[in-house]
Structure 1
Amino acid sequence: MVVDDSAVVRGLVAKWLGDDPAVEVVATASNGDMALKNLASADPEIVVLDIEMPVMDGLTALPKILEHSNEIQVLMSSTLTTRNAEISMRALSMGAADYVSKPESTREVTTSLSFQQELVGKVVNLAAARRLQSGGKVFKGGKASTLNEDILPQVSSRGVISKRKMSSAMPKIIGVGSSTGGPQALLKFLNSMKDELRLPVLVTQHMPPAFTNILAEHLGRATGLPCKQAEDGDVIQTGHVYVAPGDYHMIVENRDGQKVIRINQDDPENFCRPAVDPLFRSLAKLFGSATLGVVLTGMGHDGLKGAQEIVNAGGTVIAQDEATSIVWGMPGAVSQAGLCSAVLPLDEIGEKVIDITKGEAL
Structure 2
Amino acid sequence: MSIKVLVVDDSSFFRRRVSEIVAKDPDLEVIGTAVNGLEAVKMAAELKPNVITMDIEMPVMDGITAVREIMANTPVPILMFSSLTHDGAKATLDALEAGALDFLPKRFEDIATNKDEAIRLLQQRIKTIGRRRVYRPITRPVVTKPTSVPLSRPLSSPLPRTGSAAITPKTGTITRSSGKKYKILLIGTSTGGPVALQKILTKFPQDYPHPILLIQHMPAAFTPAFASRLNALCKIEVKEAASGDQLKAGHAYLAPGGMQMMLERAGSHGRLKVVAGSEDMNYKPSVDITFASVSKILGKETLAVILTGMGADGREGARMLQTSGATIWAQDEASCIVYGMPQAVTAAGLSSQSIGLEQMADAILRESAHG
TM-score w.r.t. structure 1 length? 0.84
Residue 274 of structure 1 aligns to a residue in which SS? coil
8 Å CA contact retained: 2:292, 2:320: yes
Residues 248-263 of structure 1 correspond to what in structure 2 (within 5 A)?
Answer: 248-255=259-266, 259-263=270-274
Deviations 1:29-64 (A, max 9, x none): 111111122123321111111000111110111111
Higher normalized strand content (fraction of residues): 2
> For structure 2, which runs of at least 5 residues remain unmatched after alignment?
1-5, 135-171
Contact in 2 for aligned 1:209/1:245 (Cα 8 Å) = yes
Question: What residue number does 2:369 align with?
Answer: 358
User: How many pairs are equivalent?
Assistant: 329
Using the alignment, how far apart are the partners of 2:31 and 2:305 within structure 1? 38
Checking the alignment, whether the CA contact within 8 Å between 2:295 and 2:324 is kept in structure 1 is yes
Amino acid corresponding to residue 185 of structure 1 in structure 2: A
Tell me what 1:274 maps to. Answer: 285
- The aligned residue for residue 19 of structure 1 is 24
**1:136-156: CA deviation from partner (whole Å, max 9, x where unpaired):** xxxxxxxxxxxxxxxxxxxxx
**Residue 103 of structure 1 aligns to which amino acid in structure 2?**
R
The runs of 5 or more residues in structure 1 that have no matched partner are 132-160
Could you tell me whether the CA contact under 8 Å between 2:77 and 2:132 is conserved in 1?
no
Instruction: Say which of 83, 101, 117 aligns to 1:79.
Output: 83
Residue 270 of structure 1, CA deviation: 6.5
- How far off its partner does 1:104 sit? 9.3
User: Aligned runs of 1:215-254 on 2, under 5 Å?
Assistant: 215-254=226-265
- The Cα shift of 1:114 comes to 5.5
Tell me if 1:120 matches 2:123.
Answer: yes
Q: Give CA deviations for 1:105-149 in whole Å, capped at 9, x if unaligned.
A: 9x999x955643432221121123449xxxxxxxxxxxxxxxxxx
Q: Distance in 2 between matches of 1:166 and 1:113?
A: 48
Structure 1 counterpart of 2:84, which letter? L
CA distance in 2, matches of 1:268, 1:278: 14
Aligned to 1:345: 356
Greater helix fraction, Structure 1 or Structure 2: 1
> What are the within-5 Å matches in structure 2 for residues 79-228 of structure 1?
79-103=83-107, 113=116, 115-130=118-133, 169-195=180-206, 197-228=208-239
Task: Report SS of the residue matched to 2:299.
Answer: helix
The alignment's C-alpha RMSD in Å is: 2.8
Give the aligned residue type for 2:287. Answer: V
Q: Which amino acid aligns with 2:27?
A: A
Higher deviation after alignment, 20-29 or 226-235: 20-29
The Cα of 1:257 is off from its aligned counterpart by 6.7
The residue type equivalent to 2:48 in the other structure is: D
Give the alignment partner of residue 304 of structure 2, picking from 271, 282, 293.
293
Distance 1:269 1:312 in 2: 26
Give the Cα–Cα distance (whole angstroms) in 2 for the partners of residues 206 and 171 of structure 1: 25
What is the aligned partner in structure 2 of residue 39 from structure 1?
44
Choose from 58, 61, 66 the match for 1:56. Answer: 61
Instruction: Provide runs of 4+ in structure 1 moved above 4 Å.
Output: 111-115, 164-168
Cα distance in 1 for residues equivalent to 2:296 and 2:328: 15
Partner Cα distance (1:34, 1:335) in 2: 43
Distance, in Å, in 1 between the alignment partners of 2:280 and 2:22 is 25
Q: Secondary structure at the match of 2:30?
A: coil
